[in-house]
Structure 1
Amino acid sequence: MIRLAAICACALLLNCVAQASAAQVLRLPSHAQTITENTAFPDSYALPTGPFGDGHLPERVVEGRVTRQTWRIPTQGITTLQILAPLRTQLDEAGYEVLFECDTRACGGFDFRFETEVLPPPDMYVNLADFRFLSAQIGNQSHIGLLVSRSENSGFVQLIHVARAGTPPSSVARPDPDDAPQEPANAQETPEAQSLAQAIQQNGHVVLSDLTFDTGSSDLGQGDFSSLAALADFLAADPARRVVLVGHTDTVGALDRNIDLSRARAASVLERMVTLYNIDRTQLAAEGAGYLAPRASNATKAGRDANRRVEAVLLGTP
């Protein structure tokens, strides 16, 4: 009886260690909501290694300690590439080798989605018209299947991690960025970051000129915007810095509606900053000015395009 109790205690301890290890594989944005997390040992996972074609999905069955996790990222207008890219960077930094990566049609579309393992709703949501998948490994010790998708208002992430029995937890752990040695901010700043920092400190505000919005829409356009990366560098360099993101519109529509729309655009940018760059929400605020502060004539399309913008306004030290 004593021996049986000891065996059960050891099994429980190993399971706890396994769950702690899996949680360290990736670092999600601070406001990502965990939907599900479970670990099974021993277990197996059919890891996709190629696109669906000719009625077949290439797979490699891997066995070990299998952890399945899903998250929801409540951010409007985020793209699947913007979700996947920082996670892929983390895997690369942790020593993972990418085996296969694809987006919707290149994966095999509908067939890929229903041939690979996906946790059932509401644990995971997959938009059949917009998803991405990545599989990666560290030798034969650790394997990853990463699936991302999005709805109109949220991003979704599914991670299936298989660790070979006996793999130390530290092999997939990533250091907390707050604990890592920090180089001087200027040593790592890009020219764009230096230019934005200089402009906002000299003038008190700066236009995030590469952002795009369609008429009547509060959704930030798809793509990587260098102005957001530069603003993130500026804020990260000094946690005491605070900015207000102020949205502006063209003159199409009533003033009240445009003020609401411009505030929603600023809020969309704020969420992108928090989601993609892990900027503390206390450093950001969102407001709207509607069409009351144009930078160009609204009589031309080019002028209206220029007026649909978001500016970052530097606040004084509290």
Structure 2
Amino acid sequence: MIRPLSICLALLASAATGQDLSLPTNARQISERVSPLDSYELPVGVYAEDAVPARTVEGRVERTTWRLQSGSSTTLQILAPLRDQLEAQGYDILFECEARACGGFDFRFGTEVVPTPDMYVAIQDFRFLSASRGENVLSLLVSRNPPDGFVQLIRVAPVAATSPPPLVVETAIDDPSEVLQVLQRDGHVILDDLHFSTGEVALGPGPFASLALLAGYLTDNPDVRLALVGHTDDTGDLQANTAVSTRRAQSVRTRLIEAHRISGDRIEAQGVGYLAPLTSNATPEGRDLNRRVEAVLLVN
């Protein structure tokens, strides 16, 4: 059985939030990652129509995991006292579900999970909860791998009003010909006029100069093919990020086919998740740079 809730572990920096979440005395914090400014896709519904309904929230994001000795306790027995504490602190429960009702495998891989071994999720034995209190939102994910239980907390708090607003700069192509020069010289080029936020897969309406240039190059060089490779930051696990990066590359491929009339057999799309970063993911600016699509030259 779970021991009485007698030890307090910080939900976030208590000085800033004035809140604590009490976990069992045998709970041990496994990981903690703090992003001073980031975004999080907060699940608010069960998996349906090929997606997990989510609400995009921005602010200070903290991702924390714990491992505890669960014994014969169910995931509900682990989650229930934590839920009670949240409600006592004034949180409103936005959404709650159990493994199969959530959507099982599809829900698990459609939402953000701290990578193993820091977090373990059994596909048929987990529970999820999202909640809000004013501008503060959070999610709890609990699962078991007997005799251990696992708890993941992702919480987003508003950034202090005195903090400067986030600045996102999308690199413009000052000399469009450089795209083709780099592609021919290096065999690959970053399509840096495309931009993806964390978890975002859809390509905007454009027009995008890089895609027009690639389309013209393909038209003028019928023996050339392209591979579009999607990349992400390191938010979430590898499988989810690989899926997101693949869908990003596919969205670019679709645009070349539909808007620029390029034959689909001349363009392939793949994703590698966070395995090939340009720079460190420790800052919002670094993560923004790592979310990208590259074109790789393939010559028959």
TM-score grouping bracket, smaller chain normalisation: 0.3 to 0.5
- Greater C-alpha Rg: 1
TM normalised by structure 1 equals 0.45
TM normalised by structure 2 equals 0.48
- Structure ranking higher in strand proportion: 2
- Structure ranking higher in helix proportion: 1
